[in-house]
């Protein structure tokens, strides 16, 4: 392969990695929107809390004894998902459910308030400085090309991100399409009131979507925390914004759309940084969003919303 | 008639008492405002400033104060946010304080300095190195730290004379401090006929630099100057090490921080940085270092002794002119030389130090630094 194509390959690998985690976070936005039609702006903060919990668990476990690394990561993942889900559930219960049925704007403000609250709550309880974790997973799976020209590397960490994202997304897709609860979710997305009349506890289903979204955000929190090694209470804002963009890009309300949107956004960012000065990364990524929305207002895979009479 | 006279005399008495009380309070304590980030991502720089100022104030108070006045440091938190810095500056003025050590980040100092100049408040910054702060011809604004541009041209000189790399990239964080320095470095290199292959900004707060690193690898860069602060450079170093990018990194004093090693780990070893001279190693400061260490604080931060010196300059001036009037003090400071914790200090017309206080250092993974060859 030529140097130029190796370089392109490397940038696509980088883009897919970051895109996978956008997709994981975007699921939370898209599922909640699909069912109750609101944007949960506190979702980025749930991701950040997932990061913090996994950092605390990993540091704690490594400090008390010599566990094997996969076990440490597994425990961290489970604890982070549990705690983040609890936060997701509580946020819905406290800040959204009492406002459901009122003006959409009110729920939006409540969500923004929740986001600011969680950010400052973590900043006050954990300190607002960067928290760092030494690299746990290093080395690369694949090296292509030669050192003299350009070497493509796929690190174990990147591979882990891909695999975990792929497994999670497959599991989620199966859950939504095959299980009873998944069917109930789809029914709620179609018509919340009708589903309720048919004897399904819609409140439970709505709570469930918040819990699933939060759990996936926690997975992203752990993965990105390990990948970058640095977190602070404010990482949720930008990650949330990017993931929200990914959700809108793919078609908000659509789960495959969120996955696709995340990957497209990630790869676009990487390729922009690759061939233009990297300061234009966000300009191009968000410019793409505007362009796609101009031609497809519902996003790439979104269905046009039928106004309910 | 008698009644009204009685009331009048009471008012007089009250006024007189109030005046005396006000008079004594003013004579007993001199309040120095300490403006800088106490929270936020660069709060540790604020700590350095605080350690220096408070140590200087404690020393003064233990030795009879300034002309019998006790000194008190009042802390104001600007979180290194320009908007909050303006609010803090207004609050300082409202609180009647006319002596300020701070602010810390150049982007905060600049808007705040406008307010101080207008309100006649004496300001000495121990950390802001952006040249624009003193370019407006203000009379009340001073520094106890060298200029950005000096730091940048020093870095450029070092790259040309000592490092002599083949291909250079200059990266910055698009902020006043970082981009300003990066521009000076690039221009310094260009002036000597060395053209950097890349001059690019990254977004402050970004976490993913994999695309940038691949680009640096493709360009075969062997020397990277980074204008900015430690959180981004830490991540760049860490991700470069993971991706196998082998290049020499160099940065300004904004990257010199123990958190850099926490973020980047071993990748910090050998990184170059222009930083204020290590004043804590200066034998003349041994007593001061001991006093700070006795409180369980760290005297090694780059802004500790410049902050200490800022208080010394204020104290010496008040002693010499026997007045706390900020305007008169500013005139005296411009006209005289001071013997301080950072050596002999003399100012030019703009309020800048006439001598550079920087040196090129090599950083180590354990958070320490040694002068570079």
Instruction: Say which residues have a Cβ less than 8 Å from residue B74's Cβ, sequence separation at least 6.
Output: B31, B32, B33, B34, B95, B97
Partners of A150 on chain B (C-beta within 8 Å) are 217-218
**DSSP of B24-55:** HHHHHEEEEEEEE-SSSTTHHHHHHHHHHHHH
B41, B243, B259 ranked by CB distance to A128: nearest: B41
User: Is the model's pLDDT at B18 over the cut of 80?
Assistant: no
B215, B243, B263 ranked by CB distance to A130: nearest: B263
Note whether ipTM > 0.95 here: no
Interface residue ranges in chain A relative to chain B, Cβ cutoff 8 Å: 3, 7, 10-11, 14-15, 17-18, 123, 128-130, 132, 134-135, 138, 150-151, 153, 155, 157, 224, 228-230, 232, 234-235, 238, 269-271, 273-274, 277-279, 281-282
Domains located in chain B, CATH noted: 10-147+280-357 (3.40.50.2300), 149-277+359-371 (3.40.50.2300)
Say if A209 falls within a structural domain.
no
B202/chain A closest Cα distance in angstroms? 5
Which of B37-46, B212-221, B234-243 has the least mean pLDDT? Answer: B37-46
pLDDT at B236: 94
User: Is the model's pLDDT at B52 over the cut of 50?
Assistant: yes
Q: Using a pLDDT cut of 70, give the percent of chain B over it.
A: 92
What range defines the domain where residue A307 resides? 255-309
What number of C-beta contacts closer than 8 Å exist between A and B?
Answer: 94
- Fill in the DSSP letter of residue B250: E
Say if A234 falls within a structural domain.
no
Say if A286 falls within a structural domain.
yes
Partners of B202 on chain A (C-beta within 8 Å) are 278-279
| Tens-place pLDDT, residues B64-104 | 889 888 999 999 999 999 999 999 999 999 999 999 998 99
Quote the radius of gyration of chain A (alpha carbons, Å).
20
β-strand pairing of B369-371 with B358-363 = antiparallel
pLDDT at A112: 92
Task: Report the residue of B43, B207, B366 to disrupt the A interface, i.e. the one with the largest count of A CBs within 10 Å.
Answer: B207
Q: How many domains does the structure of chain A reveal?
A: 1
Q: Which residues pair with B172 in a beta bridge?
A: B201, B227
Q: Mind listing the pLDDT tens digit of every residue in chain A (309 residues)?
A: 688 888 999 999 999 999 999 999 999 999 999 888 888 999 999 999 999 999 999 999 988 877 788 999 999 999 999 999 999 999 999 999 999 888 888 988 999 999 999 999 999 998 877 888 888 887 888 787 766 667 888 889 999 999 999 999 999 999 999 999 999 999 998 888 899 999 999 999 999 999 999 999 999 999 999 998 889 898 999 899 999 999 999 998 888 999 999 999 999 999 999 998 888 888 888 898 899 889 888 888 887 665 444
Say if A262 falls within a structural domain.
yes
Quote the radius of gyration of chain B (alpha carbons, Å).
23
Say if A281 falls within a structural domain.
yes
Say if A86 falls within a structural domain.
no
**Residue B26 — pLDDT band, cuts 50, 70, 90?**
very low
| Tens-place pLDDT, residues B252-285 | 988 988 788 888 888 999 999 998 788 888 888 9
Contact B239, A18 (CB under 8 A): no
| Tens-place pLDDT, residues B151-208 | 888 899 999 999 899 999 999 998 888 998 999 999 999 999 999 999 999 988 888 8
β-strand pairing of B99-101 with B168-172 = unpaired
B213/chain A closest Cα distance in angstroms? 9
B266/chain A closest Cα distance in angstroms? 10
Say if A147 falls within a structural domain.
no
Say if A269 falls within a structural domain.
yes
Q: Using a pLDDT cut of 90, give the percent of chain B over it.
A: 58
**DSSP of B262-327:** HHHGGGGTT-EEEEE--GGGSGGGHHHHHHHHHTT--TTSTTHHHHHHHHHHHHHHHHHHT---HH
Q: Whose CA is closest to A261, among A3, A21, A13, A10?
A: A21
Partners of B218 on chain A (C-beta within 8 Å) are 3, 7, 150
**Residue B23 — pLDDT band, cuts 50, 70, 90?**
very low
**Residue B4 — pLDDT band, cuts 50, 70, 90?**
low
């Amino acid at each position: 392969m030529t140097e130029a194509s190796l370089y392109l390959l490397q940038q696509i690998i980088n883009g897919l990695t970051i895109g996978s985690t956008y997709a994981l976070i975007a699921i939370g936005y898209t599922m909640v929107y699909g069912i109750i039609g609101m944007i949960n702006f506190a979702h980025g903060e749930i991701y950040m809390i997932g990061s913090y919990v996994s950092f605390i668990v990993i540091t704690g476990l490594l400090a008390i004894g010599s566990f094997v690394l996969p076990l440490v990561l597994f425990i961290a993942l489970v604890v982070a998902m549990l705690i983040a889900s609890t936060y997701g559930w509580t946020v819905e219960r406290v800040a959204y459910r009492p406002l459901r049925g009122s003006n959409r704007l009110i729920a939006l403000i409540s969500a923004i308030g929740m986001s600011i609250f969680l950010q400052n709550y973590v900043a006050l309880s954990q300190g607002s400085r960067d928290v760092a974790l030494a690299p746990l997973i290093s080395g690369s799976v694949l090296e292509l090309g030669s050192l003299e020209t350009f070497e493509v590397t796929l690190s174990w960490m990147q591979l882990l991100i891909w695999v975990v994202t792929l497994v999670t997304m497959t599991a989620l897709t199966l859950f939504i399409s095959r299980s009873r609860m998944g069917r109930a979710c789809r029914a709620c997305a179609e018509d919340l009131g009708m589903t309720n009349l048919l004897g399904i506890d819609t409140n439970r289903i709505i709570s469930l979507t918040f819990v699933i979204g939060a759990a996936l955000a926690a997975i992203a929190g752990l993965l990105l925390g390990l990948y970058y090694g640095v977190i602070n209470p404010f990482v949720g804002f930008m990650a949330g914004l990017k993931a929200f963009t990914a959700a809108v890009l793919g078609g908000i309300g659509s789960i495959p759309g969120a996955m696709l949107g995340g990957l497209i956004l990630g790869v676009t960012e990487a390729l922009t940084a690759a061939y233009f000065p990297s300061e234009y990364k966000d300009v191009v990524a968000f410019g793409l969003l505007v362009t796609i929305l101009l031609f497809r207002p519902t996003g790439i895979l979104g269905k046009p919303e039928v106004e309910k009479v | 008639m008698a009644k009204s006279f009685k009331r009048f005399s009471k008012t007089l008495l009250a006024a007189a008492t109030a005046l005396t009380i006000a008079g004594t309070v003013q004579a007993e304590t001199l309040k120095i405002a300490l403006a800088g980030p106490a929270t936020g991502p660069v709060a540790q720089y604020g700590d350095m400033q605080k350690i220096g100022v408070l140590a200087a104030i404690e020393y003064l108070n233990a030795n009879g104060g300034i002309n019998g006045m006790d000194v008190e440091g009042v802390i104001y938190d600007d979180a290194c946010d320009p908007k909050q810095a303006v609010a803090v500056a207004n609050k300082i003025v409202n609180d009647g304080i006319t002596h300020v050590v701070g602010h810390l980040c150049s982007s905060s100092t600049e808007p705040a300095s406008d307010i101080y100049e207008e309100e006649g408040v004496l300001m000495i910054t121990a950390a802001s190195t952006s040249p624009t702060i003193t370019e407006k011809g203000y009379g009340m604004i001073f520094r106890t730290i060298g200029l950005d541009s000096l730091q940048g041209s020093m870095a450029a000189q070092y790259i040309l004379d000592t490092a002599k790399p083949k291909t250079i990239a200059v990266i910055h964080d698009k902020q006043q401090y970082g981009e300003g320095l990066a521009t000076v470095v690039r221009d310094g290199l260009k002036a000597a006929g060395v053209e950097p292959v890349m001059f690019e900004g990254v977004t402050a707060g970004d976490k993913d630099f994999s695309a940038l690193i691949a680009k640096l690898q493709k360009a075969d860069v062997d020397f990277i100057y980074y204008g900015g602060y430690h959180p981004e450079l830490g991540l760049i170093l860490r991700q470069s090490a993971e991706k196998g990018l082998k290049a020499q990194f160099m940065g300004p004093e904004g990257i010199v921080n123990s958190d850099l090693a926490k973020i980047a780990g071993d990748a910090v070893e050998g990184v170059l940085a222009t930083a204020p001279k290590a004043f804590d190693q200066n034998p003349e400061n041994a007593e001061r270092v001991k006093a700070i260490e006795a409180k369980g604080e760290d005297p090694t931060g780059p802004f500790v002794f410049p902050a200490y010196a800022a208080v010394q300059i204020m104290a010496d001036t008040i002693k010499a002119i026997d007045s706390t009037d900020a305007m008169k003090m500013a005139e005296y400071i411009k006209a005289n030389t001071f013997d301080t914790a950072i050596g002999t200090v003399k100012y030019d017309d703009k309020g800048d130090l006439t001598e550079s206080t920087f040196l090129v250092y090599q950083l180590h993974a354990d958070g320490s630094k040694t002068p570079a060859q």
